[in-house]
Amino acid sequence: MPEMLALRDTDPREVGVYQLLGRLGEGGQGVVFLAEGPTGSPAAVKLLSPTTDPQVRSRFLKEVAAAQRVARFCTAQVLDAGIFERRPFIVSEYVSGPSLVEVVEQFGPRGGAALERIAVATLTALSAVHAAGMVHRDFKPGNVLLGPDGPVVIDFGLAAVPGMTTTGLSGQVTVGTPAFMAPEQLAGTRVTAAADVWSWAVTMVFAGTGELPFKGESLTATAFAILQSEPNVGRLPEPLGSLVLRCLNKDPAGRPSARSVLGDLVAAGARLVGPMPPMASPLAADEEAASSQRLRAALSEPPQGNGDGLIAGRPAGRPRSARHGSRSSWRRRRAPVILAAILLVASVGVLAFNLPRRGAGSDQLTGSNKELSAEAVARAQAINWVLQQVSRAVVVSCDSQVCTDLANRGFPAADLLTLGAMSTDPLGSKLVIVTAAIRAQFGRRLVSVYAPATIASFGSGNARIEIQLVFADGSIKYDEAQRAALRSRKTADAQLLTNSHIAASPMARAQLLSGDIDPLLPILLAGMAASHPVYIVDFVDQSPGGGSASLLRTVDLATAVRTAHLTSAAYLNWMQVFIDAQTAEYLPAWVGKITLPTGQAVLRIRYGAPSPLS
């Protein structure tokens, strides 16, 4: 069982009527606390990232209401939910026990009666979820807790809410979620209960053998294996092995239901852990998920090229009004998510990108503020960069003046950590804005201990302001992690070039082989190539003041590919629908059709900062 950690200074002490006792785990989208309820009983409180979007809040509360209707068959009961200081929270039954992934990693694969109990209990839980008309969407070993009363499934329902997917109570899972995703999720088609059945089968292979049925040296290679290769289920006992193979049918229609598999196991002699769940009710189509896409604020167009044509330059995923004629059909055709949350090296996460407003470019700021001091100009450029480039789910530390300026410009105050005489370090943040005051406060320790990598730099001399990446283990460990990440990126990107549906210009090929590409881009491209061929024109990085840790976060794609057998308009439409369908973690910060100086039209896709290492 994961050790409970002490509350941090920035953590609340109470959420609603629940008194927080300590931290159980932290994932990319929120923190899980051990809490005491009003009756004195323990509970798990999951506090998610802030949101002011009424659509997201409404969808969150609807999903929680649906989760509360799930029968208590091997699931952690949802007790309460609400909004606390702009942050959605969900309270569930506290399960005292390790996750399945922790048990397998520490003690080896399960077998015999233990494996049977895990299979039966998880099928019982999924059957109950499906009977309530829900789909789990993120079933994996990290979301199976082995409590004193047996296996319990957690985190059902939240994956349906944009920006609300989280890791399990036991923290991050060492096997990335894409390894447990069904082919239809990777291909961007409609997700039903059949996807949960696939994920259950992959989880059973992991539980019984310690291995995955589809392997790859990178996330991209794993996705290819899921889409194209036959599974290797190892020596699972019968009839479990045969049932798992049936559940790994690449055609969702060919997979049995969770209740059917449970019935087959019981018929073969397995013991139920509770009453047989009811039959599944019809599941709603995923078009509803599209209607709750997170609203996105405007971002200025890229400095190079001109936006034109079907897609104007805009942040990805902005909802379209039904009053715009044919654009309403985008909502009906929108595919469900392709990529779920992935464990990132050294907990450097890339989350949702809500960019607040149109901002002046750094050249405009410089030109219109010549009378300002060099430090004021650099500060304005750095603030503008943060507003345009940084995820709103990333905590940024800064001196009091910069933090105040950012809050006044719309950056969430809850995501700002002010450094000063009363603060000891920036470790509670992902990025630190290094001004002269910050350099004077921390000296050489800033780079050697806290923030070893520069992402962007503005100004020079003592007026210089840098955006640096916080890495808790210091510069030596960061250098080691960076070298390993570079090797991983080179391997994954070289694998991408072996895909027959992906072509690239000589420049783009060289860039991929260099390992300097933000790892989110190859994952997105691999998913797109599963449906239609793509042609990579170039990778670019338009961030002003780009530093040593800046990867290329922007790609230009051809707007027409002959082998796709689609018109240019239809092909461009498909790309935009596919991109809009991504989960918050993988939704680009900006997407727009532009014309390059050469006259070629491209679709430009840009991710925000900071980039994950691999």
- Ordered by start, the domain boundaries in the chain are 14-267, 296-345+481-606, 362-390+395-429+431-469
Active site residue 155: no
Q: Lowest-confidence range among 350-359, 368-377, 468-477?
A: 350-359
Rg (CA), the chain: 24
| Residue 158: other Cβ atoms inside 10 A | 24
User: What is the per-residue pLDDT for 426?
Assistant: 86
Q: Tell how far CA 151 is from the center of its chain.
A: 26
Average pLDDT over residues 116-144: 89
Question: Could you report the per-residue pLDDT of 370-379, keeping only the tens digit for each?
Answer: 434 788 888 8
Q: Lowest-confidence range among 92-96, 252-256, 349-353?
A: 349-353
Among 412, 411, 391, 299, smallest CA distance to 349 is for 391
| Residue 131 confidence class, pLDDT cut points 50, 70, 90 | confident
- The residue among 614 and 226 whose pLDDT is bigger is 226
Q: Helix count (H) and strand count (E) of the chain? A: 19, 19
* In this structure, CATH architecture of domain 14-267: Orthogonal Bundle (1.10)
Is residue 293 scored above 50 in pLDDT?
no
Q: What average pLDDT is seen over the chain?
A: 76
Token couple for 89: 């929270």
- Provide the 8-state DSSP code for 149: T
- Provide the 8-state DSSP code for 322: T
CA distance 442 to 467: 15
- Kindly name the residue from 11, 53, 138, 493 that is annotated as catalytic: 138
| Residue 277 confidence class, pLDDT cut points 50, 70, 90 | low
User: What is the per-residue pLDDT for 243?
Assistant: 96
Contacts with 415 (C-beta within 8 Å, 6 or more apart), sequence order: 50, 392, 393, 394, 395, 396
User: What is the per-residue pLDDT for 85?
Assistant: 80
Share of the chain above pLDDT 70, in %: 74
Is residue 123 scored above 50 in pLDDT?
yes
DSSP 342-400: -PPGGG---------S----HHHHHHH-TTS-HHHHHHHHHHHHHHHHB-TTS-EEE-H
CA distance 589 to 6: 34
> Residue 241, class by beta-carbon neighbours within 10 Å (0-12 exposed, 13-18 middle, 19+ buried)?
middle
Residues in a beta bridge with 48: 30
pTM of the model: 0.50
Is residue 33 scored above 80 in pLDDT?
yes
Is residue 315 scored above 80 in pLDDT?
no
Is residue 576 scored above 70 in pLDDT?
yes
Is residue 558 scored above 50 in pLDDT?
yes
Average pLDDT over residues 1-19: 83
